[in-house]
Structure 1
Amino acid sequence: VGWGSGGGENPPRFGRAFYEAGPLLGRARLRAYLDAQVAAGRLRPWIPAPPPRHFFDLCAATTMRRLLFAVGDPPTEAETTYWIAEAVRVFLAAYGPEAGAS
């Protein structure tokens, strides 16, 4: 029974360890950074608190769907730069400081 069939114990632990050392840790670091930006008045406070997940999803959504469904080639550097800039633009439109705030 292979990893993909859910038969072994190691794959779930491996997946959890990979997630905790990668995406979860990155999200925690981004969360701390965003909290500092809120404290400095550069971002609006939010309730509930989705921004780290939301930002990662904005950055990855287009590329992940393309790779998940094996549609087209991996993104070029120019495409990646464009989608990250769009993610930042949308994120700041949602969570950036109010107009006229300093």
Structure 2
Amino acid sequence: MSYRAIDTYGKKHKGRKMKLIVQQECRRLYREVASTGTSARALHSALQLKGSIRTRQRRLKACGYLKYKKRKHTPFLKEAHKTARLKYAVGHLEDPP
């Protein structure tokens, strides 16, 4: 009784599937994200690399030095806000609230 397939016995193993994004393209992806901060979806159309958006997301997540940071939804301080804060601080230097 044989457990091996006779028609495939002795044939070479095909090996693994080729990677869609090679190291050079990964470095290009990291460089673009680090300089612009764009999303994986925007990079899909900008860089024209092979692979899906999900593949790019996996590569970015696996990168050690790039971390996702949620943006703040509050607007930046305007000049009027800065002067009002300064006026309040100067007014309360002697007698804090």
Report the TM-score, using the length of structure 1 for normalisation: 0.25
The structure that is helix-richer by fraction is 1
Report the TM-score, using the length of structure 2 for normalisation: 0.26
Structure number, greater radius of gyration:
2
Q: Which has the higher contact order (CA 8 A, sep 6+)?
A: 1
